[in-house]
Structure formats: structure tokens, C-alpha cells
Structure 1
Amino acid sequence: MRALVIQHDHVTDIGPVGARLVERGYRLSVVTVVPEHRHHAPDVAFDFPAVDGWDLIVSLGAPWSVYDEPAVGSWIGGELALLRKAHRLGVPVFGVCFGAQALTTALGGSVEASPHPEIGWVEIDTDDPALIGPGPWFQWHYDRCHLPPGAAGVARTSVCTQAFRLGRSLGVQFHPEMTTTTVRRYLELGGTEECVRLGVDPEALLARTRELGSMARANARHLVDAFLDRVAGAAG
């Protein structure tokens, strides 16, 4: 089985989510949309692969917003078209943070700035703990989704929807792929200043991520299994 992984920048990788997909028999093909040297000027030209031949598409996070025309306007249309076609053909999509927001937009929903950011390890309210556990899950986002027609919200916080499903696809606002290494990269690439500005202790955030590492990997493993078995594997 072949999985296309859309990595929007050089910072966020697929981490334990990818590890579990490999254990479940998937061969991962990772494409990076914005190269490292264009991180602060992400309006690059990028040709997304065709949908044909993929058994799964994973769209990861990004530091931008899907509606940020100056940043992503040159390539977001291609990704939305890819996700829209995948959904129409019944190819499962797993969207993470920005990826969930792209999935929302592609299928007729919308994305807006949230009342306030969520940064750190957050417990969520879930209607289906066997699919989406309560966490805590890692969060680092400034936007929220208004779900597309027919989508079912599965989990939420007071700020926004945290998980939704539609057909054979699942979007999550949190980051099940997060590792200590990736959090450190976030902090080194301007995240420390963001945390301080928002009253979040960056060193405590990193220490908490390290402390929760084993639990986070187990939660990611469970989420991937539940997605593959109950959502991606559902009849069309």
C-alpha cells in the first residue's frame, strides 16, 4: 500500500504517525512543498502529485493559514484540488492541523482565526474515545474550522473542533505526530518568541513534551489504528 505524505515545510515530519503507518504495511512517499530556504517566503511554485495510485493521503501541519493568500496562494489551490479529488474517489485522507484545515476548505467548509491560540498539551472532549482519545494532545494553532457539509464533529475544546470525519477521511486539529525534536525545531524557528509573547513558558513546554513522549507515541499509534480500521476502511 502506498501513502502520500504532504509535508508543507522542513520543520514538521510525520513522526510516530508515520512509524505506525509503516508497521501497518504502508510505503510512505514524502513530498515537501516549501523548502527550508523559502520558509520565510513560502509562496513557491509546487506541482502536487496526481491522486492515482495512492491508497492514503496524509496532509501535515504548517505555520501558515489556508486563507493566507500572500503566503500560500501560489500552491494551496493545487493541494485543495488534490484533497477534493481524493475524497471524490474514496481515497482516505488524514489531515493534521493545517492539513485538517485544508481538508475542511477543500470539502466546502471554511477556516477563520480562532478566539485565541492553543499552544501546549491539551485535554479534549470526545464523543468517541475509541477513535479520538481525550489526550492530552499537542496543540499549536491560531485558526479553527467551520466544518464542511455532512462532516461529523468528533471532538472539541472550548476554542474549536478538534476532530471531524467525513466519508473515509479524518481531520484533527491537534498534532499526534509531535515529538520533542519537532517541538525544539518550532521553538528555534521563532516559536520561543511566540510563546513568551503569549505567556507560555517555552522550556516548560519542551520539558512537558519530553515527559509525555511514551504516552504520546502510544496515543498516536492508537489513533492511526482507529483511523485505518474505522474510517479509512469504512465502506464508501
Structure 2
Amino acid sequence: MAAVAPTVLFLVNEHVATEALLGEAFAEHGFDVETFEVVPPERDDDPAGDVTFPEPGGYDVIVPLGSRWPVYDEALRNSWVGTEMALLREAADAGVALLGVCFGGQLLAQTFGGSVARSPRPEVGWYDVLSDRPDIVPGGPWFQWHFDRWTLPPGATELARTPNSSQAFVLGRTMALQFHPEVDTELLTRWLAEDHDGDVAAAGLDHDQLLTRTTELADDTAVRIRALVRGFLTRVAGHSLPS
């Protein structure tokens, strides 16, 4: 009898914040990839609202992804963000491994007893991340686009940081990332098209600079994201992988 492939569910909280390279890395590690759109594009200007999420028990890993909205926004916490937090607690209780990315990482911090607030120093662009556990979170340049930062939940262990903010923590079979490992030039191009508030210019950068740097780092990023997913699956989630 053929073995059933494990399944990862990506929660696409905002339609432009897709799984990109992360989806490819999970697929390379033998996972079936599923996605669930939380806020459709027609609700971008008014994202609060009720959402019926999939039951978490049918998945091996759930990955909440990024979004432009803060996890502590009251209207969102009273609607789908609160529901998504309940989903993540239920998933963790059921033994599902969790990997959060940027907004998703902040959501995990908030869900399990940490806090999230505005950072005095936003991070936009490529930043060197210092890692205590490069076997789980490879250090080096990772892409950032965030204005908030977390405090660690009780019992969590920080794995990586920049001078401005914590960048990764683990708590049981849960790992949160502040940076965006999934970013490639195609995804970044979509984000830059949405940069109506001038976040990139405010960071002292321009769109061409970011795209050029992303292209230059593409091969290195591809290697490190595979290592990151392997580290998460083997050392955090506890999955055995094919050689």
C-alpha cells in the first residue's frame, strides 16, 4: 500500500501574501500543499469579517502567512483574527505543527501568550539575521517587511534576531518567523505594486534596488529556505523525511 503524503495548509491571510518559495520547499520534502484564502481581494479595504476555517485535524502542518494588517487590530481580533487564533490553539492541542511567517509569526506569539506592538524601527528590505540554531533557522540575509514586533510567549525559546527585533522562536512543535523566507522576485514584484504608502521609499530604498538584490540572492535563498524547512520539519515538527 502506498504511503499517504503529509499535507501542509497555508493560510493566505491576504491575497498577495502567498506561499511562493515555501510551498515549493514543502513540496520538495514530500508534502501535498493546500491553501485557504482568508481575506479575499474585494475585502482589502474592509478586512474585518467572519471566516469559517478548515478543521485543523486533517493537516500535518499549518502555516499562517503574512498580511498588511496588524494582528492586534481590535476589529480583526473580534472577527477572523480571533477565530484564526482559536484554530491555531486547537491545532497545537491536536499535535499539528505550526510555522508562522511575519504576520503569521506575530499571530502565533499573540495566540500563545506573547504580545505584539508597533516597533520603534520598522524593517523593510534584506537584513542579516543572527541565528543561535542555524540547523533550524539558517542565518544570513532574509527579506523583511514589517512594522510590528513580538514579545516571546511564556516557555518559548528565541532562535534568531536582528538588532531591531526577535526573528524566530520555537514553542513545542510551533515555530514563528518574523522575516519572509518565501519571497522571490515574482512575489516581491506583486508587493511593490501594492506599495501605495511608500514603505520602500521611507526605508531609504527604491523598488529597483530591492528587486536587484532579491535576484542576486535568489540561489542562496533557495538553498537556505530548503534548509529552513528541513530544520523545522525534523527538529521542531518531528517529521522523518526521505533521504
Normalised TM-score (structure 2): 0.92
Matches within 5 A, 1:83-162: 83-162=88-167
- Partner residue, 1:179: 184
Aligned equivalent of 1:20, options 15, 19, 25: 25
Aligned equivalent of 2:14, options 9, 12, 15: 9
Aligned equivalent of 2:195, options 190, 193, 198: 190
Q: How far is the alpha carbon of 1:183 from its aligned partner?
A: 1.0
Deviations 1:152-200 (A, max 9, x none): 0000111111000010111110011011111111111125722123322
- Partner residue, 1:53: 58
CA RMSD of aligned residues (A): 1.6
Contact 1:64–1:72 (CA<8 Å) still a contact in 2?
Answer: no
Contact 1:65–1:143 (CA<8 Å) still a contact in 2?
Answer: yes
CA distance in 1, matches of 2:175, 2:135: 14
Contact 2:102–2:179 (CA<8 Å) still a contact in 1?
Answer: yes
- Partner residue, 1:227: 232
Match of 1:81, SS state, is helix
- Partner residue, 1:80: 85
Deviations 1:113-154 (A, max 9, x none): 111110111101111112111120000000111111100000
Cα gap change, 1:189/1:72 in structure 2, threshold over 3 Å: closer, same or farther?
Answer: farther
Structure 2: runs of 5+ lacking an equivalent: 1-5
State the number of aligned residues.
235
Q: How far is the alpha carbon of 1:70 from its aligned partner?
A: 3.5
**Amino acid across the alignment from 1:104:** A
Matched, 1:30 2:35: yes
Deviations 1:203-226 (A, max 9, x none): 201111111111111111110011
Q: How far is the alpha carbon of 1:71 from its aligned partner?
A: 4.9
- Partner residue, 2:204: 199
Normalised TM-score (structure 1): 0.95
Match of 1:190, SS state, is coil
CA distance in 2, matches of 1:31, 1:11: 13
Structure 1: runs of 5+ lacking an equivalent: none
- Partner residue, 2:3: none
Q: How far is the alpha carbon of 1:35 from its aligned partner?
A: 0.8
Deviations 1:3-58 (A, max 9, x none): 11101111111112111211222111100111112222211321111222111101
Match of 2:59, SS state, is coil
